[in-house]
Amino acid sequence: MTDIKKEEEKSLNFLEEIVEEDLAAGKYKSILTRFPPEPNGYLHIGHSKSIVLNFGLAQKYGGKTNLRFDDTNPVTEDTEYVEGIKEDIRWLGFEWANEFYASDYFEQLYTFAEDLIRKGLAYVDDSSAEEIARMKGTPTEPGTDSPYRSRNMEENLQLFRDMRAGKYRDGEKVLRARVDMSAPNMQLRDPIMYRIKHAHHHRTGDSWCIYPMYDFAHGQSDSIEHITHSVCTLEFVPHRPLYDWFIEKLAIFPSHQYEFARLNMTYTVMSKRKLLQLVNEGYVTGWDDPRMPTISGLRRRGYTPESIRMFADKIGVAKRENLIDVSLLEFCVREHLNKIAARRMVVFDPLKIVLTNYGREEEMLPVEDNPEDPATTHRQVPFSRELYIEREDFMENPPKKFFRLSPGQKVRLKSAYIIQCEEVVKDETGKITELKCSYLPESKSGGTESNIKVQATIHWVSIVHAITAEVRLYDRLFRVEDPASEDGDFKEYINPDSLNVAVAYAEPALRKVKFNEHYQFLRKGYFYLDKDSSEDRLIFNRTSTLRDNWVKEQKKQ
RNA sequence: UGCCCUAUAGUAUAAUGGUAGUACGACAGAUUUUGGUUCUGUUUGUCGAGGUUCGAAUCCUCGUGGGGCAACCA
């Protein structure tokens, strides 16, 4: 009931409004969107905004979404990326109606081009790239006509066929649309439709040596598939008149382009070019390095598809430039993981404690797996006389608001007993090596007299039963909010401490950990088994820390 | 010195000529065997100047700020 109400109250974004209007006006019976990545890199969190938008629009209004690879530039593209992209989309939880490639349409696009030549709307230009650039003019000065602009139709047709037949070298000729060399919109100054590239294409092999440009492939592909709403990012706004021009002159299905502002996020970079640099120059270990904003990186780090979809939903869709705080992404993943992650106790920086009055060898204590789950299961955790606690959970001279262990003070060991610190043992350098504590037998968790109040509860692990695990603790990849907008090379702003590796002591239940299981290490954060793990070596990535008011409190002082 | 997009709390986003709301953040409190979670409360906003109107965040004009466009990239 409340959910329905919420749904009703939730306002539409401008694209949903357009779709609703089109549907209401009977313009379309159902809608068809597409997600059109170029297979020249891996998908990142910015793409997930587009994916959730395109697939979400179709889902919401009973339509469908095609996956179309925009593979018109053979030199940068590869099937490795095709496979990676498909995996990422599926992982995010979306299924496409059709898998298409712009290269599926090369023959059709070629026919379209000949059609435009016959109509006198395209011509072969022999000018060099430099000459074409010069004749293009500037934003404030009109361009000038190429001497080849007035070539007759038959000659253009023959030349274009010769281009396809491989008679010319790369760069010798191009096919251009004859639009308007003095248009205020630069995109309309006779844009290039085809260029010669004697290059191997990952799907069409060597069967073509001319390849269509984006502008002569994208809109036409949309039209061939009868895409109703072609949603892309803002930088293509100036291309829209050209998109419409080609469709009009070709008299083909009128797909329409709509633009939204791409996602920018603090403390990271979001362009494939920059991400590729980080990979190639060894700043990260790969596209799926857990510090990367890529889908594969986030997945490896322990993010869930649900959390990313929630994020995409929360950031909204509009046309103004934005810089989303990464803390919103972190909020989303905590929100989800808090509900599903099993709790475990792991000590990162151990301080030994000895319970001087604990007479038994050991005992097993039941500990709940997830307090958020009313039907939570319990596991048996071994407790014994010698334990590790977190070194930071003890202070010899604590400040006022420190609630944890200190000389003479009590804390509860989670799901076990309350202990009191009796003696601090140090080595010759003054470093604390051990704490001698007493425990309160009647304070046993769950017991009738266990309701004794103490200020804090801390996690622990039994030394003889502990297993070790490597934990990889990540921080933001960059030191500044918006590295791309800083002066100089963005790589100067990389955070040198974005990765910290430590060996931690874990309760034995963690020995049975499996891939795809999300854990909360009590009070330490959310963790996820890394693919680098092996039978005898557990490696965990910290997905995210927990919110920490104590850190804030300390900063105030 | 052109064309295009854009401007609402710290960050995003809604209000579609009629009470400026929501989320995250921040701050304060309650609860808590995680300084987590949960709950409650507080704080902060319509870029500027004119105009239209009974009434403007919304429409118009002129500024100003931000972004994009001059790849044989997408």
Residue nearest to nucleotide B2 (CA to C1'): A140
Q: What is the pLDDT of residue A11?
A: 84
* Pair A297, A361 in one domain: no
- Residue A314 domain flag: no
**What gap in Å lies between CA A165 and CA A521, rounded to an integer?**
64
Asked whether the beta carbons of A281 and A499 are under 8 A apart, the reply is no
**What gap in Å lies between CA A94 and CA A86, rounded to an integer?**
10
pLDDT digits (tens, 9 = 90+) for A458-483: 999 999 999 999 999 999 999 999 99
Using 50, 70 and 90 to split pLDDT, how confident is the model at A498? very high
In this predicted structure, the answer to whether residue A10 has a pLDDT above a threshold of 90 is: no
In this predicted structure, the answer to whether residue A379 has a pLDDT above a threshold of 80 is: yes
Q: Cα torsion at A499, A500, A502, A508 (round to 10°)?
A: -50
* Pair A442, A475 in one domain: no
- Which CATH number do you get for residue A419? 2.40.240.10
- Residue A404 domain flag: yes
* Pair A247, A273 in one domain: no
Q: Which pair of structure tokens corresponds to residue A224?
A: 């061939």
**pLDDT > 90 fraction of chain A, expressed in percent and rounded:** 94
Q: What is the pLDDT of residue A557?
A: 67
HSE value, Cβ hemisphere, 13 Å, CA-based, for A311? 31
Q: What is the pLDDT of residue A345?
A: 98
- Residue A447 domain flag: yes
* Pair A157, A67 in one domain: yes
Q: What is the pLDDT of residue A451?
A: 76
In this predicted structure, the answer to whether residue A262 has a pLDDT above a threshold of 50 is: yes
The predicted model gives A268-291 an average pLDDT of 96
* Pair A372, A392 in one domain: yes
- Residue A380 domain flag: yes
Rounded to whole angstroms, the distance from the CA of residue A261 to the C1' of nucleotide B6 is 10
* Pair A432, A473 in one domain: no
Using 50, 70 and 90 to split pLDDT, how confident is the model at A9? low
Q: What is the model's pTM?
A: 0.95
**β-bridge partners, A64:** A32
What residues contact A453, with CB distance under 8 A and at least 6 apart? Answer: none
**pLDDT > 70 fraction of chain A, expressed in percent and rounded:** 98
Using 50, 70 and 90 to split pLDDT, how confident is the model at A328? very high
Q: What is the pLDDT of residue A4?
A: 34
Asked whether the beta carbons of A34 and A224 are under 8 A apart, the reply is no
Q: Cα torsion at A306, A312, A314, A318 (round to 10°)?
A: -170
> Which among A408, A430, A459 is the end of a domain?
A459
* Pair A408, A484 in one domain: no
- Residue A508 domain flag: yes
* Pair A255, A324 in one domain: no
* Pair A55, A108 in one domain: yes
HSE value, Cβ hemisphere, 13 Å, CA-based, for A518? 22
What residues contact A115, with CB distance under 8 A and at least 6 apart? Answer: A250
Q: What are the CA-CA distances from residue A366 to residues A45, A339, A357, A475 (Å)?
A: 40, 20, 22, 34
* Pair A45, A192 in one domain: yes
* Pair A34, A77 in one domain: yes
Q: What is the pLDDT of residue A452?
A: 81
Question: How many structural domains is chain A composed of?
Answer: 3
> Which among A459, A478, A499 is the end of a domain?
A459
* Pair A478, A443 in one domain: no
Q: What is the pLDDT of residue A256?
A: 97
**What gap in Å lies between CA A98 and CA A382, rounded to an integer?**
54
- Residue A410 domain flag: yes
Q: What is the pLDDT of residue A351?
A: 98
In this predicted structure, the answer to whether residue A2 has a pLDDT above a threshold of 80 is: no
Long-range contacts, A3-7 (Cβ 8 Å, 24+): none
Lowest mean per-residue pLDDT among A253-267, A409-423, A438-452 = A438-452
**What gap in Å lies between CA A308 and CA A173, rounded to an integer?**
46
Q: What is the pLDDT of residue A405?
A: 97
- Tell which strand B nucleotides have any atom below 7 Å from a protein Cβ: 1-8, 10-16, 21, 23-27, 33-38, 66-74
**Of the residues A64, A161, A249, A262, which is catalytic?**
A262
- Residue A141 domain flag: yes
Report if CB A105 to strand B is under 7 Å. Answer: no
Q: What is the pLDDT of residue A233?
A: 97
Report if CB A10 to strand B is under 7 Å. Answer: no
Name the closest nucleotide to A73, judged by C1' and CA: B73
Q: What is the pLDDT of residue A8?
A: 43
The predicted model gives A238-257 an average pLDDT of 98
pLDDT digits (tens, 9 = 90+) for A102-131: 999 999 999 999 999 999 999 999 999 999
Whats the size of chain A, residue-wise? 557
The predicted model gives A9-38 an average pLDDT of 93
Strand B contacts (CB < 7 A) among A residues 38-97? 38, 70, 72-73, 76
Mean pLDDT of chain A: 95
Q: What is the pLDDT of residue A153?
A: 98
Q: What is the residue range of A543's domain?
A: 268-307+319-342+469-556
Q: What is the pLDDT of residue A33?
A: 98
Helix or strand holding residue A314 (H, E): helix A305-315
- Residue A312 domain flag: no
Alpha helices by DSSP H, listed for A209-304, are 218-225, 240-250, 272-280, 295-301
